[in-house]
Amino acid sequence: MIGLGERSLTVVPRAVWLALLVALILQIVWQGVQPRPVASAAALTAPPPLAVLRVASIGEPVVLAQLTTLYLQAFDNQPGISIPFRDLDYQRVTQWLATILALDPVGQYPLLMAAQVYSQVPDPARERLMLQFVHAQFLLDPNRRWRWLAHAAIMAKHRLHDAPLALNYAWDIERLAPAAPGWARQMRIFILEDIGELESAKILLGGLLASGEIKDERELRFLAERLEDMKNAEKSSQSSKK
């Protein structure tokens, strides 16, 4: 079909058609014989300095932080290859996460990745590194980041079986995050109860109830019942010993 302002195909010299056809065939053959691209895991490099990233963000550090988060997140799934977390350099990962948080301190995404994603690695040393990172970041803004430390406390207790570490985290939430809800601030009591430190748990819970900090009727009732349960459990364990 000849469009408006176009001449017939026959006006094109044969040499031009031939050149076009031969070049097209050669192009397809050339690309066809090229080896297929092979995925190779690239090492995670250190993040650029924060100052460079601030300049690169051209006044939009939050957006850059979000894009950087996605870059880091995609690193364990580079084009065509899925890298197990244990093969990632966790020191570098924490550097990236810290840089992202410095760019966007209000953002919670890097902490979620540290507490919920990277800490799932079946390697206690790496897991511990992530929990340390969450703890360090919690100390910078406890009222906003307590939930990730609460998760870290649970991880420390149930996955690492490190009760002192879990207690330490719970104690920091209780001490430094007044904006955290009651359940998070009462975590230490329940960890103590779980690890059999009933006496300490009882004292702490009793003290909490006596302090008048808890205003909610239902929560008060629930905690009073827990205190009663603890006392009963203690009595029954003492009688069984006799």
Minimal distance in Å, beta carbon 70 to another protein?
15
Minimum distance, C-beta of residue 137 to another protein, in the bound complex (Å) = 21
> Of the two residues 120 and 143, which places its CB atom closer to another protein in the complex?
120
The token pair at 222 is 């629930």
- CB neighbour class for 168 (10 Å; exposed up to 12, middle 13-18, buried from 19): middle
CB of 2 to another protein, least distance (A): 8
Which residue, 93 or 180, has its beta carbon nearer to another protein?
Answer: 93
Minimum distance from CB of 112 to another protein (Å)? 20
Shortest reach from residue 240's CB to another protein, in Å: 53
Sign for the CA dihedral angle at 118, 124, 129, 132 comes to positive
Pick 24 or 139: Cβ nearer another protein = 24
Phi-psi region of 37 (alpha: psi -120 to 50; beta: other; left: phi over 0): beta
Quote the least distance from Cβ 117 to another protein, whole Å: 15
34/239 with CB nearer another protein: 34
User: 32 or 59: whose CB is closer to another protein?
Assistant: 32
Distance CA 132, CA 172 (A): 13
48 or 124: CB nearest another protein:
48
Residues with Cβ within 8 Å of residue 242, at least 6 apart in sequence: none
Q: Which residues bind another protein (CB under 8 A)?
A: 5-9, 11-13, 15-17, 19-20, 22-24, 26-28, 30-32, 34, 36-37, 39, 46, 48-49, 51-52, 55, 77, 79-82
Q: Using the structure block, give the residue that is written with the tokens 């690309």.
A: 31
CA distances from 177 to 15, 137, 141, 142 (A): 80, 13, 9, 5
Q: Of the two residues 27 and 116, which places its CB atom closer to another protein in the complex?
A: 27
SS3 readout for 132-187: HHHHHHHHHCHHHHHHHHHHHHHHHHHCCCCHHHHHHHHHHHHHHCCCCCHHHHCH
Rounded least distance, CB 86 to another protein, Å: 18
